[in-house]
């Protein structure tokens, strides 16, 4: 039975929970380059620290690279069969208990794994109230890669207006980016945080290097939750600020506050900022930026809360181009989820000098029409507005009116004629980031359909009905596509032009984050537990 995309936690907080996990949910093929895996130690318990590795693969950020493509071409012989059922475990190297909601990670680097969660299963027994109940906190946890041993955590108190800016029990929703011995993430308090990867295992606490309070310093107003997975280019770290509307009133408290910032990674000083889209924000801004060098210029792409893409020159912040990811005829956005105009929650992906992105809304607003876009990011705008959008609603890239547009292709829209049964649109709203490999795009919508499209033309190759809704981004690993569902299944498909179901494995918890494969281990994260899956040799 197909489950609704709306999360059961919504009733607890009283207003639409957004998230993302982005998103999830949410780069060029393969993880960053090799680094050598140490010998494995015990799967559970306090094992001695293994010897320093001489080389290791890493997945240092959401998407693996600044291009954000959920593709790993390095790992081989990744498991397609396992069981997490108690007493019947199979191919489970280790597992680690998280809070009761864990919407960020896993990020693997420096022999450690970083996960964003809450404090509902306290690692520190002191973090409880007078009645012995867990204190509501945002938590970034660090585990040892080899055996899952808990090392340390950083905790953040909730903001005063929790229902407005810091949804109860949601924890940290930002997957960090790791560079060397430092990591960067956005806390539940809307702070861009720089911390040390080492932490202090003796005390179980992390070490913050600097923190930028985006509410206090930049007057940002996060709608329900701040997230955003930062990226690093050179000396700058980039992130969305999550500036948005009031979750119940619908007005925009801070239209002039920045939506996107570039910060000195060593000091936390803001180097440039953009308040685009200004007063055009539809609801929230919960996506992640992507970056790539194009014709000798490094572009940083900001997915806006108005449904537009904005590309900036990385160092100066100069606007290079923008692109509207909504049809002009789309019905105006409606806070109740009934409008057709969407914003971008999924993360844009850059592949072969093109950008691929899909649109949607905060998932508790339900399903509806969505779109997938492919944009030529080498195109230079011919108009003063620097607009590469198609003209009107003509989505033919070869049309004369689109000679100056950056449109490569568009997938979606209403089905004509309208079918008598089933949904009346080609592709649904989504918060899932696409994965691109070998000329194919894998794109999932919240309705639970996994679409395989031709990366050059956008033509449909195949569609699989997963029989369940999903927030999860598909991930390509070792010739297979892995994707989790709301109902808690991990579905595995053979990648390629001929669809083939390989496995359906119950994870005993909803899977909202894409899998990550590093050093022969597949990491699957449910809402409350992280599993390291590996074939025993």
Q: Please state the three-class secondary structure of 327-389 as a single string.
A: CCCCCCCCCCCCCCCCECCCCCEEECCEEEEECECCHHHCCCECEEEEEECCCCCCCCCCECC
In angstroms, how far is the first alpha carbon of the chain from the final one?
Answer: 37
Pairing of strands 475-477, 460-465: unpaired
Tell me how crowded residue 46 is: count the other CB atoms within 10 A of its CB.
11
Give me the pLDDT at residue 17, please: 43
- Of 111, 100, 223, 229, the C-alpha closest to 173 is 229
Give me the pLDDT at residue 2, please: 55
- Of 326, 534, 292, 532, the C-alpha closest to 413 is 326
- Of 102, 104, 99, the C-alpha closest to 22 is 104
Q: 345: burial class by Cβ within 10 Å (0-12, 13-18, 19+)?
A: buried
Calpha distance 343→333 (Å, rounded): 9
Give me the pLDDT at residue 372, please: 98
Q: What is the pTM of this model?
A: 0.91
Q: Which two structure tokens, joined as six digits, stand for 253?
A: 């408290």
146 with 194: CB under 8 angstroms?
Answer: no
**CB within 8 Å of 27: residues ≥ 6 apart:** 63, 64, 65, 66, 67, 68, 69, 70, 71, 290, 349, 350
pLDDT in tens, the chain (537 residues): 455 444 333 333 333 444 444 443 333 333 333 322 222 333 333 333 333 333 347 999 999 999 999 999 999 999 999 999 999 999 999 999 999 999 999 999 999 999 999 999 999 999 999 999 999 999 999 999 999 999 999 999 999 988 899 999 999 999 999 999 999 999 999 999 999 999 998 899 999 999 999 999 999 999 999 999 999 999 999 999 999 999 999 999 999 999 999 999 999 999 999 999 999 999 999 999 999 999 999 999 999 999 999 999 999 999 999 999 999 999 998 888 888 999 999 999 999 999 999 999 988 888 999 999 999 999 999 999 999 999 999 999 999 999 999 999 999 999 988 999 889 999 999 999 999 999 999 999 999 999 999 999 999 999 999 999 999 999 999 999 999 999 999 999 999 999 899 999 999 999 999 999 999 999 999 999 999 999 977
Calpha distance 238→258 (Å, rounded): 12
Give me the pLDDT at residue 43, please: 33
Give me the pLDDT at residue 452, please: 98
344 with 309: CB under 8 angstroms?
Answer: yes
For 277-336, the three-class secondary structure string (H helix, E strand, C coil) is CHHHCCCCCCCCCEEEEECCEEEEEEECCCCEEEEEECCCCCEEEEEECCCCCCCCCCCC
Give me the pLDDT at residue 530, please: 98
- Of 2, 62, 26, 80, the C-alpha closest to 473 is 26
Give me the pLDDT at residue 536, please: 78
């Amino acid at each position: 039975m197909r489950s609704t995309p709306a999360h059961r936690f919504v009733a607890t907080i009283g207003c639409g929970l957004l998230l993302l996990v982005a998103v999830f949910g949410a780069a060029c093929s393969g993880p960053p380059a090799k680094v050598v895996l140490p010998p494995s130690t015990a799967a559970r318990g306090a094992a001695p620290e293994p010897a320093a590795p001489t080389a290791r693969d890493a997945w240092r950020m959401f998407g693996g690279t600044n291009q954000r493509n959920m593709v790993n071409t390095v790992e081989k012989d990744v498991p397609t069969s396992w069981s997490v059922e108690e007493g019947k475990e199979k191919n489970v190297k280790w597992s680690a208990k998280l809070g009761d909601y864990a919407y960020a990670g896993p990020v693997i680097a420096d022999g450690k794994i970083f996960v964003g969660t809450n404090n509902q299963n306290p690692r520190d027994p002191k973090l409880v109230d007078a009645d012995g109940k867990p204190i509501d906190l945002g938590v970034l946890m660090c585990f040892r890669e080899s055996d899952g041993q808990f090392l340390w955590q950083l905790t953040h108190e909730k903001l005063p207006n929790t229902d407005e800016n810091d949804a109860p029990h949601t924890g940290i929703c930002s997957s960090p980016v790791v560079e060397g011995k430092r990591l960067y993430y956005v806390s539940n308090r809307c702070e861009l945080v720089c911390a040390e990867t080492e932490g202090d295992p003796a005390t179980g606490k992390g070490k913050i290097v600097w923190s930028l309070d985006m509410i206090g310093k930049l007057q940002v107003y996060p709608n329900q939750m701040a997230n955003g997975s930062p990226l690093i280019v050179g000396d700058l770290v980039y992130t969305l600020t999550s500036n948005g509307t009031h979750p119940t009133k619908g007005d925009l408290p801070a239209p002039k506050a920045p939506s996107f910032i570039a910060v000195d990674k060593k000091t936390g000083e803001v180097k440039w900022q953009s308040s685009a889209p200004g007063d055009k924000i539809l609801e929230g801004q919960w996506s992640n930026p992507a970056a790539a060098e194009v014709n000798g210029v490094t572009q940083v792409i900001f997915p806006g809360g108005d449904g537009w893409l904005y590309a900036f020159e990385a160092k100066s912040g100069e606007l290079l181009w923008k692109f509207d990811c909504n049809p002009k005829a789309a019905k105006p956005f409606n806070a109740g989820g009934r409008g057709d105009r969407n914003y971008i929650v999924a993360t844009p992906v850059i592949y072969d000098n093109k950008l691929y992105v899909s649109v949607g809304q905060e998932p508790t607003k339900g399903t509806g029409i969505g779109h997938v876009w492919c944009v030529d990011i080498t195109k230079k705008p011919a108009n003063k507005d620097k607009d590469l959008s198609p003209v009107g609603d003509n989505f033919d890239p070869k049309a004369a009116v689109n000679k100056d547009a950056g449109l490569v292709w568009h997938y979606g829209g209403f089905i004509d004629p309208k079918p008598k049964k089933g949904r009346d649109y080609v592709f649904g709203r989504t918060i899932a980031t696409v994965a691109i490999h070998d000329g194919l795009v894998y794109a999932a919508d919240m309705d639970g359909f996994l679409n395989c499209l031709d990366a050059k033309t956008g033509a449909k190759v195949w569609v699989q009905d997963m029989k369940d809704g999903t927030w999860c981004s598909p991930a390509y690993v070792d010739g297979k596509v892995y994707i989790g569902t709301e109902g808690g299944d991990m579905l595995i498909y053979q990648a390629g032009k001929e669809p083939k179901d390989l496995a359906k494995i119950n994870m005993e918890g909803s899977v909202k984050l894409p899998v990550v494969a590093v050093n022969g281990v597949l990491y699957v994260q449910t809402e409350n537990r992280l599993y390291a899956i590996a074939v025993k040799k």
